[in-house]
Amino acid sequence: MPSDASQDLFVAGQRLRKKLAVALALSSLIPLLVLAWVIRSVVLPGLPAGEPLLSGGMQALIAFTALGIIAGGYIIWDVGRTVSRIAEMLASERAITGLGRRKDEVGTLMTSFNRMLETIEQQAGEINSFATRLDAAYKELESTNARLKETSFKDEVTGLYNRRFFSLRLEEELSRYRRFNHPVSVVLLDLDGFKAVNDRHGHQGGDVLLARSAAAWRAGLRPTDLMARVGGDEFAILLPGCDAAGAGDVVQRMLAGAVDGPACSVGLAEWDRRESASGLLRVADRALYGAKRRPRHANAAA
């Protein structure tokens, strides 16, 4: 099915042909008829009798004038017909090499035009190839940037998010729940006696303990909760939609699912809608400090 542009070219060619016929009639045929009528009806009857030379000269002039008009009309018709054919061939997407075989100026023009079209098609193919490679490179760059961004927010040891990401999410949640008046709570945890584990088993043993504890705790959280490693042996949990009581239930369930885990201390704070994100973390940190000063039991909040 021809495109809109091809259809427009075809219509333009048809209109050009009609206009050309009208132009030839107005500029050649009608003037020729008028000239013949004037000479026959006005000029020739007015000539003196017995002067055939003058009459023959006038007739020759009329003949040459008529030939000039006819020749000019033919040239106009030939050029217009060529332009009309070009429009029709372009509209039907056919090759226009036939016009290039002509030996006149039109043939030279069409030969140059064909060469220009070939050059344009070649360059268009090269541009399309380059655009394809550029698009593939751009997608690869986007993928690489996404992986780098994800890596920059992840803790290598535990696979949890880091402090930077936790702070960003905390700000987002506080802004969201400030509008909708929903509760938000934060929980801080740290492992008891972690330094002794590092001293006894080295940093590799400490990393194993951190990763194992993080996996056990994360299994007891809700899908909407966010857990991050924010320090050496300190973890933070963001609990959207939880008040202090609900956050306590989440923590108890989380710790109950890690019965073989090490002892830990827990500090909990509910946002009061007046504090900043850093203020909320300070409240949770004070609660954590108070919990560490009290007697602790393995795998239970102090």
Number of Cβ within a 10 Å radius of residue 47: 12
Q: What is the distance, to the nearest Å, from the Cα of residue 143 to the centroid of all Cα atoms in its chain?
A: 15
> For residue 247, is it within any domain?
yes
Contact 271, 229 (CB under 8 A): no
Asked which of 106-110, 167-171, 236-240 is least confident by mean pLDDT, the reply is: 106-110
pLDDT at 301 over 50: no
Task: Tell me, yes or no, whether 82 and 173 share the same domain.
Answer: no
Show which of 40, 61, 94 is a domain's final residue.
94
Beta-bridge partners for 241: none
Residue 169 lies in a domain: yes
Residue 153 lies in a domain: no
Phi-psi region of 159 (alpha: psi -120 to 50; beta: other; left: phi over 0): left
- Would you say residue 125 lies in a domain? no
- The answer to whether residue 102 is domain-embedded is no
What average pLDDT score do residues 250-257 get?
A: 86
**pLDDT tens, position by position, 26-49:** 666 667 677 777 766 766 666 666
Q: Which range is least confidently modeled, 86-95, 154-163, 245-254, 261-270?
A: 86-95
Q: How confident is the model at residue 237 (pLDDT cuts 50, 70, 90)?
A: very high
Mean pLDDT, rounded, of the chain:
76
What are phi and psi for residue 268, nearest 5 degrees? -130, 140
Q: 10 Å Cβ neighbour count for 19?
A: 12
Mean pLDDT in residue range 279-295: 87
Catalytic positions: 233
Q: If residue 188 lies in a helix (H) or strand (E), which one and from where to where?
A: strand 184-191
Q: Which of 75, 94, 113 is the last residue of a domain?
A: 94
Residue 105 CA, chain-centre distance (Å), reads 46
Question: Looking at the predicted structure, is the pLDDT value of residue 236 above 70?
Answer: yes
298 within some domain: no
Question: 269: domain CATH number?
Answer: 3.30.70.270
Provide the pLDDT for residue 46.
65
End-of-domain residue from the set 40, 63, 94: 94
Query: Per-residue confidence at 266, pLDDT binned at 50, 70, 90?
Result: very high
Residues 176 and 264 in one domain: yes
Reply yes or no on whether the pLDDT at 96 is more than 60: no
How far is it, in rounded angstroms, from Cα 8 to Cα 168? 57
Give the pLDDT mean for 212-233: 90
Could you give phi then psi for residue 217, rounded to 5 degrees? -70, -40
- Whether 118 maps to a domain, the answer reads no
**Which contacts of 107-112 are long-range, i.e. CB under 8 A and separated by 24 or more positions?**
110/86
Of 257, 282, 256, nearest in space to 267 by CA: 282
Return the pLDDT at 296: 52
Whether residue 79 lies inside any domain: the answer is yes
Cα 251 from Cα 187, distance rounded (Å): 8
Q: CA–CA separation, 292 vs 302, rounded Å? A: 7
Number of separate domains in the chain: 2
Which structural domain range is residue 247 located in?
163-292
Q: What percent of the chain has pLDDT over 90?
A: 17
My answer on whether 168 and 55 are in the same domain is no
For residues 171 and 255, membership in a common domain is answered with yes
To the nearest whole percent, how much of the chain has pLDDT over 70? 61
Collapsing DSSP to helix, strand or coil, 231 comes out as: coil
Query: What backbone phi and psi angles, to 5 degrees, belong to 3?
Result: -75, 170
pLDDT tens-digit readout, 127-171: 888 788 877 777 776 665 656 565 678 888 998 999 999 998 999
Of residues 285, 298, 261, 296, the one with CA closest to residue 187: 285
| Nearest C-alpha neighbor of 221 from the set 235, 243, 238, 233 | 238
